[in-house]
């Protein structure tokens, strides 16, 4: 077949020019070489392809059939070559990227914005799915690159780090104050306070009784202890109490980020009592900002809310380990355009 390809090219040029000498001239080979190649092709196919005369050559019926098919083939090759040259000249190409909605919005978007400015003719398609689904799309060859949090995948896939992210818990000051007030009201008076009050009431001649007698009559007024007078009292809840007693808002269990936080809870022996599952990081941030509860979010994604005072961070007794976000891909199947994008992001040396 490989040898026949040369014969086909010589046959095609001879038929197109209607002359062996003109075909030899266009192919930069001798006339005897053209004649010999045509003869060998005829012998190989078992058909006479040309009727030869002093005026030149003309196609037989079989030769015409072969010529029509070869014309389509060589035209396609010519179109392919021109397209590749055009792609090279204009920087055209296509990249298919898989990424979660949050990573797309807060990380990928800025890289894409700068890349598109330099490569306006590249076609980019985005599939937004959680990490596990992104990995499956990559294995099925439905995307070229996946932007994920570092997850073991194995060969032949390669993970290149892009940046670190940090999980944190946020809420509003109002929600935290109300939570503190609610939990303080549920605590009974201490034994010491009860004993002290009993002593005052049972010793009529004590200085304490005289002090009580000096208080003016305030019948009809409600007296609040300092402990309950204001949510922002000196008594505060521990981190463990906040996380276990609050309305804790987390990503759903099918998310890799949720599994990471669940492992953190197990390690720190934290047992949240009330969990609201949400499948979108942006909703977690928005719900926390309206005082709906305590949300577990990525600090880098909520930094503007923290800086503006819309939410506050819950101080943690044990820091949550940082996570790494990066690109996952099969190095052996990367297109030139995909490599160009990874190099642009500083994530590929191929």
> How does pLDDT run across 225-249, given as a tens digit for each residue?
333 334 444 458 999 999 999 999 9
pLDDT tens-place string over residues 284-318: 999 999 999 999 999 999 999 999 999 999 999 99
Closest by Cα among 145, 166, 165, 9 to 73: 9
pLDDT tens-place string over residues 172-231: 999 999 999 988 866 554 445 445 544 544 555 555 545 445 444 433 333 333 333 344
> How would you label 143-161 residue by residue, b for 16+ Cβ within 10 Å and e otherwise?
bbbbbbbebebeeebbbbe
User: Helix, strand, coil: what percent of the chain each, to 5?
Assistant: 50, 20, 30
Separate counts of helices (H) and strands (E) for the chain? 16, 12
For 38, counting Cβ atoms within 10 Å of its Cβ (0-12 exposed, 13-18 middle, 19+ buried), the class is buried
pLDDT of 225 reads 32
pLDDT band for position 55 (cuts 50, 70, 90) = confident
Is residue 291 within 8 Å of residue 174, measured between CB atoms? yes
Specify which residues 94 forms β-bridges with.
123
Whether the pLDDT of residue 67 is over 50: the answer is yes
Cα separation, 168 vs 320, in Å, equals 7
Gap between the terminal Cα atoms of the chain: 34
Which contacts qualify for 264-267: CB closer than 8 Å, 24 or more apart?
264/167, 264/318, 264/320, 264/321, 267/318
* Six token digits for residue 102: 């949050």
pLDDT of 220 reads 33
pLDDT tens-place string over residues 311-334: 999 999 999 999 999 999 998 889
Mean pLDDT across the chain? 84
pLDDT of 233 reads 44
pLDDT of 91 reads 57
Whether the pLDDT of residue 88 is over 90: the answer is no
Q: How far from 293 is each of 171, 329, 334, CA to CA, in Å? A: 6, 38, 44
Q: Say which residues have a Cβ less than 8 Å from residue 230's Cβ, sequence separation at least 6.
A: none
pLDDT band for position 2 (cuts 50, 70, 90) = low
Q: Is 63 left (phi over 0), alpha (psi -120 to 50) or beta?
A: alpha
pLDDT band for position 149 (cuts 50, 70, 90) = very high
Mean pLDDT of 116-141: 92
pLDDT of 89 reads 59
Q: Which of 55-64, 155-164, 340-349 has the lowest mean pLDDT?
A: 340-349
Is residue 183 within 8 Å of residue 177, measured between CB atoms? no
Cα separation, 336 vs 250, in Å, equals 39
> How would you label 54-85 residue by residue, b for 16+ Cβ within 10 Å and e otherwise?
eeebebeeebeebbeebeeeeeeeeeeeeeee
Mean pLDDT of 19-31: 92
pLDDT of 190 reads 46
pLDDT band for position 346 (cuts 50, 70, 90) = confident
Is residue 180 within 8 Å of residue 239, measured between CB atoms? no
pLDDT band for position 82 (cuts 50, 70, 90) = confident
């Amino acid at each position: 077949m490989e040898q026949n390809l040369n014969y086909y090219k010589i046959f095609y040029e001879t038929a197109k020019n209607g002359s062996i000498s003109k075909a030899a001239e266009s192919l930069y080979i001798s006339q005897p070489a053209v004649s010999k190649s045509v003869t060998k092709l005829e012998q190989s196919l078992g058909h006479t392809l040309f009727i030869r005369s002093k005026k030149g050559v003309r196609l037989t019926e079989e030769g015409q059939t072969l010529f029509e098919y070869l014309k389509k083939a060589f035209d396609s090759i010519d179109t392919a070559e021109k397209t590749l040259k055009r792609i090279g000249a204009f920087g055209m190409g296509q990249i298919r990227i898989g990424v979660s909605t949050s990573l797309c919005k807060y990380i990928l978007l800025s890289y894409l914005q700068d890349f598109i400015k330099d490569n306006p003719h590249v076609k980019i398609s985005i599939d937004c799915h959680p990490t596990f689904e992104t990995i499956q799309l990559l294995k099925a060859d439905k995307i070229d690159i996946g932007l994920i949090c570092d997850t073991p995948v194995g060969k032949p896939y390669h993970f290149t780090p892009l940046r670190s992210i940090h999980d944190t818990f946020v809420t509003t000051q109002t929600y935290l104050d109300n939570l503190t007030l609610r939990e303080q009201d549920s605590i009974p008076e201490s034994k010491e306070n009860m004993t002290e009050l009993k002593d005052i009431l049972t010793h009529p001649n004590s200085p304490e009784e005289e002090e009580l007698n000096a208080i003016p009559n305030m019948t009809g007024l409600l007296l609040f202890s300092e402990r309950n007078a204001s949510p922002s009292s000196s008594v505060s809840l521990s981190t463990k109490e906040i996380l276990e007693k609050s309305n804790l808002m987390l990503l759903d269990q099918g998310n890799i980020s949720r599994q990471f936080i669940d492992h953190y809870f197990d390690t720190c022996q934290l047992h949240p009592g009330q969990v609201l599952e949400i499948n979108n990081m942006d909703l977690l941030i928005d719900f926390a900002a309206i005082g709906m509860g305590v949300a577990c979010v990525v600090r880098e994604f909520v930094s503007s809310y923290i800086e503006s005072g819309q939410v506050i961070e819950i101080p943690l007794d044990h820091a949550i380990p940082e996570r790494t976000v990066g690109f996952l891909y099969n190095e052996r199947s990367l297109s030139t355009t995909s490599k160009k994008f990874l190099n642009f992001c500083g994530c590929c040396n191929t």
